[in-house]
Structure 1
Amino acid sequence: MNMTAPEVNFSDLQRDAKGVVHKLEHSASRAVRIRRRERDQQDLVLVTADRAAQTTEAASATARIFIELMKQDAGARALLEVLPAAFPWVRYLSTEEVQTFLLELIDVAERSESLGNPAPLANLVAAWRSTAEIHADPELAKILAQDGDDFGAVPEPVDE
């Protein structure tokens, strides 16, 4: 069941903090999304400490089970079969790339869980998804396969 958190503006939090906390405490998700209007600012999510601890513990337990299962040959073979259901975009990757993704996924999941930081795992999945997007677009794949100079990272655009 997907529970959507109620949303409030950041100014509501500043102006009526008690009202926002009331929404938080009566929300099925025990969370409130705080919308920020500035383009360079990400929205925030306010959650109860208990809900944050539950979420962290659930993710950690799931990751530990997943990691140990994948360290077994049968588990890794099973994951190769179910990976396309979890990440449909892997169908655009070669067999070798899917195997590499799986090995990296197991490794990074273990390291991320040990740190209690999901960012490395999220970044890995995003990077492989981008690779699949390139394979899915024959014109883009052709352009990127051409020989040429690498000019390094592209700087962030500047708003004028």
Structure 2
Amino acid sequence: INIGMMSPQGVDLKPRRGKTLPLFTDPEVAAPAILERAVQKMKAFNKDMDEGPEEMNVTLPAIIANLSQPIDHGRIENAASVDALREMTMRHSTMLQTAGCLRHVASVEGKKGIVSDYLQWYIIGRNSSVIDRFKEGLSALQFLNALQQHPTLLAPVL
């Protein structure tokens, strides 16, 4: 897990590019324990900072507990004001940052791009290695060649 660093800029928190702390943990560790380890790592990191302490962008156990769940993109799409949209993007900032689509919101029109980029990552990007392995498996079995030679074999299943 990489702990993303953020710094306050005006009323927003902005991610600091290239500023992450690695956190190695067992997949069986519960979310509160991950948060505790992240806070410890952050405190140790801040002791060595000349420019002052950094802020960690994961501060609530509920955020960590829900990292594997998709964001509520419907609420982002339905945001009626820039303030509501900013609140929703900050609420889901960890997942949006992981997806690579966390950005400053200047107008309500920006919501479509955020949602589109997030859904593309959620459906395709995060599963691309699994899809690639599946394609390699089909290729190794020469499944597509067999399907082209005998197209009626899958008709009962479809």
**Does TM-score exceed 0.5, indicating one fold?**
no
Higher helix share: 1
Shorter-chain TM band: under 0.3
Higher strand share: 2
Query: 1 or 2 for the larger relative contact order (CA 8 Å, sep ≥6)?
Result: 2
TM-score under structure 2 length normalisation: 0.27
TM-score under structure 1 length normalisation: 0.27
